[in-house]
Amino acid sequence: MGFEQLAELRDRLRAEKQQVQQVKTESAKPQKRKQPPKTKAREQDPAVEAIWRLQKHFPLAFPVNPAPKVPLKEGILKDAEQHLPLLGISLDQLKLGIAVWCRGGRYWSAMTENAPRLDLQGQPVGVVTAAQASHARQQARRHRMEARRNQAKAKAPADEKPLESTAASAAE
């Protein structure tokens, strides 16, 4: 699931939560309502939950889509570990969330040479080196190639079926 999809999911969840709250305040008799299934999806995915909490507490370092991502300080995990009680997540969730955040096109496109690296408060604490920028471009290229291969694999069985049925009808 891409970060754009995660951000869209988060926005939908917020909108649904607001609708539920409006219904509760409008009705005279409070009713217990089930949580929407999409809320459960966020709670079940530890990476999504961790990213959501990082965005909530550190919006300058973890901006919400459509804002571009920013290169993070090297060693950001150690800084974030100090805030585990505030975040309300486990160390493993934090590691997973940051790992997922630092993968993908939005992050890799932010990794340009001499771009400032930011700490949790959004303060510049270093810059992206030429080698790091080159690595990010390679990762983005590799990711695009894998996505194309996966699309080709997904389309291949669908494309083969009409050919097989055409060949079978021609044989008859």
Q: Give 59-113 pLDDT, tens digit per residue.
A: 999 999 888 999 999 999 999 999 999 999 999 999 999 999 999 889 999 999 9
DSSP assignment of 85-121 equals HHHT--HHHHHHHHHHHTSSHHHHHH--TTPEEE-TT
DSSP 3-state helix, strand, coil percentages of the chain (rounded to 5)?
Answer: 65, 5, 30
Distance of alpha carbon 115 from alpha carbon 90, whole angstroms: 30
Q: Is the pLDDT of residue 32 over 60?
A: no
The domains located in the chain, with CATH, are 3-20+39-157 (1.10.1710.10)
Query: Beta-strand (E) ranges in 10-151?
Result: 116-118, 124-127
Q: Give 134-160 pLDDT, tens digit per residue.
A: 999 999 999 999 999 999 888 876 555
Contact (CB, 8 A) for 43 and 49: yes
Residue 153 DSSP SS3: helix
Q: Is the pLDDT of residue 27 over 60?
A: no
Candidate ranges 20-29, 76-85, 163-172; pick with highest mean pLDDT:
76-85
Percent of the chain with pLDDT over 70: 76
